[in-house]
Homo-oligomer: A and B are copies of this chain.
Protein backbone atom coordinates (compact mmCIF):
# COMPACT_ATOMS: atom_id res chain seq x y z
CA UNK A 1 0.00 0.00 0.00
CA UNK A 2 1.36 3.37 -0.97
CA UNK A 3 0.24 6.19 1.26
CA UNK A 4 0.62 9.92 0.89
CA UNK A 5 3.41 9.98 3.46
CA UNK A 6 5.08 7.16 1.60
CA UNK A 7 5.38 9.08 -1.66
CA UNK A 8 6.27 12.25 0.22
CA UNK A 9 9.28 10.51 1.72
CA UNK A 10 10.31 9.00 -1.59
CA UNK A 11 10.14 12.41 -3.26
CA UNK A 12 12.57 13.69 -0.67
CA UNK A 13 15.11 10.89 -0.85
CA UNK A 14 14.07 9.25 2.38
CA UNK A 15 13.78 5.49 2.24
CA UNK A 16 10.18 4.94 3.37
CA UNK A 17 10.62 2.28 5.99
CA UNK A 18 7.57 1.20 7.98
CA UNK A 19 8.52 3.27 11.03
CA UNK A 20 9.42 6.35 9.03
CA UNK A 21 6.13 6.29 7.18
CA UNK A 22 4.17 5.88 10.40
CA UNK A 23 5.98 8.76 12.07
CA UNK A 24 5.51 11.03 9.07
CA UNK A 25 1.83 10.06 8.86
CA UNK A 26 1.42 10.99 12.50
CA UNK A 27 2.98 14.41 11.96
CA UNK A 28 0.93 15.15 8.85
CA UNK A 29 -2.32 13.94 10.38
CA UNK A 30 -2.12 15.47 13.87
CA UNK A 31 -0.39 18.78 13.14
CA UNK A 32 -0.08 19.11 16.90
CA UNK A 33 3.58 20.08 17.24
CA UNK A 34 4.27 16.93 19.25
CA UNK A 35 7.24 16.09 21.39
CA UNK A 36 8.93 12.68 21.29
CA UNK A 37 6.72 11.19 23.99
CA UNK A 38 3.51 12.23 22.25
CA UNK A 39 4.62 10.47 19.10
CA UNK A 40 5.89 7.46 21.01
CA UNK A 41 2.82 6.97 23.18
CA UNK A 42 0.48 7.28 20.24
CA UNK A 43 2.32 4.98 17.84
CA UNK A 44 3.31 2.27 20.29
CA UNK A 45 -0.34 1.18 20.42
CA UNK A 46 -0.10 -0.19 16.91
CA UNK A 47 3.68 -0.68 16.99
CA UNK A 48 4.49 -2.32 20.32
CA UNK A 49 8.15 -2.82 19.44
CA UNK A 50 8.72 0.82 18.50
CA UNK A 51 11.77 2.35 20.13
CA UNK A 52 12.21 5.95 21.18
CA UNK A 53 15.65 5.89 19.62
CA UNK A 54 14.00 5.20 16.28
CA UNK A 55 11.84 8.27 16.70
CA UNK A 56 14.85 10.39 17.57
CA UNK A 57 16.80 9.02 14.61
CA UNK A 58 13.89 9.45 12.24
CA UNK A 59 13.17 13.03 13.23
CA UNK A 60 16.83 13.91 12.96
CA UNK A 61 16.75 12.54 9.43
CA UNK A 62 13.55 14.44 8.61
CA UNK A 63 15.09 17.65 9.89
CA UNK A 64 18.19 17.08 7.80
CA UNK A 65 16.00 16.62 4.74
CA UNK A 66 13.95 19.70 5.66
CA UNK A 67 10.74 17.73 6.04
CA UNK A 68 10.40 18.75 9.67
CA UNK A 69 11.37 21.76 11.76
CA UNK A 70 12.32 21.47 15.42
CA UNK A 71 10.44 23.75 17.78
CA UNK A 72 11.82 24.94 21.13
CA UNK A 73 8.83 26.75 22.57
CA UNK A 74 9.20 24.76 25.77
CA UNK A 75 12.46 25.06 27.61
CA UNK A 76 13.35 21.45 28.17
CA UNK A 77 11.75 19.58 25.35
CA UNK A 78 11.93 19.58 21.59
CA UNK A 79 8.76 19.55 19.55
CA UNK A 80 8.48 18.81 15.86
CA UNK A 81 6.52 20.47 13.07
CA UNK A 82 5.96 18.93 9.65
CA UNK A 83 5.17 22.38 8.30
CA UNK A 84 8.53 23.83 7.25
CA UNK A 85 7.21 27.03 5.76
CA UNK A 86 8.24 30.09 7.76
CA UNK A 87 5.66 30.76 10.42
CA UNK A 88 5.39 31.52 14.10
CA UNK A 89 3.88 29.73 17.06
CA UNK A 90 1.68 30.73 19.95
CA UNK A 91 1.48 28.51 23.01
CA UNK A 92 -1.42 28.97 25.40
CA UNK A 93 -0.09 28.60 28.92
CA UNK A 94 -3.48 27.35 30.09
CA UNK A 95 -4.52 24.66 27.59
CA UNK A 96 -1.06 24.08 26.15
CA UNK A 97 -2.25 24.11 22.56
CA UNK A 98 0.22 25.49 20.06
CA UNK A 99 -1.25 27.63 17.28
CA UNK A 100 0.46 28.49 14.01
CA UNK A 101 0.86 32.17 13.15
CA UNK A 102 1.52 33.68 9.76
CA UNK A 103 4.68 35.72 9.70
CA UNK A 104 6.49 38.06 7.42
CA UNK A 105 9.71 39.41 8.85
CA UNK A 106 11.34 40.00 5.49
CA UNK A 107 11.70 43.74 5.97
CA UNK A 108 13.18 43.67 9.44
CA UNK A 109 16.42 41.99 8.46
CA UNK A 110 17.75 44.74 6.19
CA UNK A 111 17.84 47.51 8.76
CA UNK A 112 18.78 45.48 11.77
CA UNK A 113 21.36 43.08 10.43
CA UNK A 114 23.32 44.58 7.55
CA UNK A 115 25.43 41.96 5.83
CA UNK A 116 23.97 39.14 7.89
CA UNK A 117 22.74 35.93 6.27
CA UNK A 118 19.69 34.47 7.95
CA UNK A 119 19.10 30.73 7.70
CA UNK A 120 16.48 30.16 10.39
CA UNK A 121 13.61 32.09 11.93
CA UNK A 122 12.01 31.09 15.20
CA UNK A 123 9.16 33.20 16.49
CA UNK A 124 7.30 32.03 19.55
CA UNK A 125 4.67 33.66 21.70
CA UNK A 126 3.19 32.58 25.00
CA UNK A 127 -0.03 33.78 26.54
CA UNK A 128 -3.69 32.90 26.77
CA UNK A 129 -5.71 31.82 23.78
CA UNK A 130 -9.26 33.03 23.17
CA UNK A 131 -11.08 29.97 24.48
CA UNK A 132 -13.46 30.81 27.32
CA UNK A 133 -11.95 28.12 29.51
CA UNK A 134 -8.53 29.70 29.13
CA UNK A 135 -9.64 33.18 30.19
CA UNK A 136 -11.87 32.59 33.18
CA UNK A 137 -10.87 34.04 36.51
CA UNK A 138 -9.98 30.82 38.29
CA UNK A 139 -6.90 29.66 36.50
CA UNK A 140 -5.62 26.17 36.84
CA UNK A 141 -3.25 25.76 39.72
CA UNK A 142 -0.30 23.43 39.74
CA UNK A 143 1.13 21.51 42.68
CA UNK A 144 2.96 24.58 43.93
CA UNK A 145 -0.20 26.61 44.10
CA UNK A 146 0.91 28.77 41.23
CA UNK A 147 -1.08 29.16 38.08
CA UNK A 148 0.32 27.47 35.01
CA UNK A 149 1.43 30.85 33.89
CA UNK A 150 3.30 32.11 36.92
CA UNK A 151 6.86 31.06 37.45
CA UNK A 152 7.18 28.62 40.34
CA UNK A 153 8.99 29.72 43.47
Q: Which residues of A contact B (CB under 8 A)?
A: 60, 63-64, 70, 72-73, 75, 78, 90, 92-93, 99, 101-103, 105, 108-109, 112-130, 135, 149, 151, 153
CB pair A93–B119 under 8 Å, yes or no, is yes
Contact check, A119 vs B127: say whether CB atoms are below 8 A apart.
Answer: yes
How far, in angstroms, from A70 to B151 measured CA to CA in the complex? 12
Most buried by B among A64, A75, A116, A128: A116
Q: Which 7 A-B pairs have the closest CB atoms?
A: A115-B130, A118-B127, A120-B126, A122-B124, A117-B128, A119-B127, A64-B151
Which residues of B lie under 8 Å from residue A149 when comparing CB positions? Answer: 119
Name the contact of A125 in the complex, choosing from B64, B101, B122 (C-beta under 8 A).
B122
How far is the CB of A95 from the nearest CB of chain B, in Å?
12
Q: For A126, give the chain B residue with the smallest CB separation.
A: B120
19 contacting pairs across A/B (C-beta < 8 A): A92-B116, A93-B119, A101-B108, A101-B112, A103-B108, A105-B123, A109-B125, A113-B129, A115-B129, A116-B128, A117-B127, A117-B128, A118-B125, A119-B127, A120-B125, A120-B126, A121-B123, A122-B123, A122-B124
Judging by beta carbons under 8 Å apart, are A113 and B126 in contact?
no
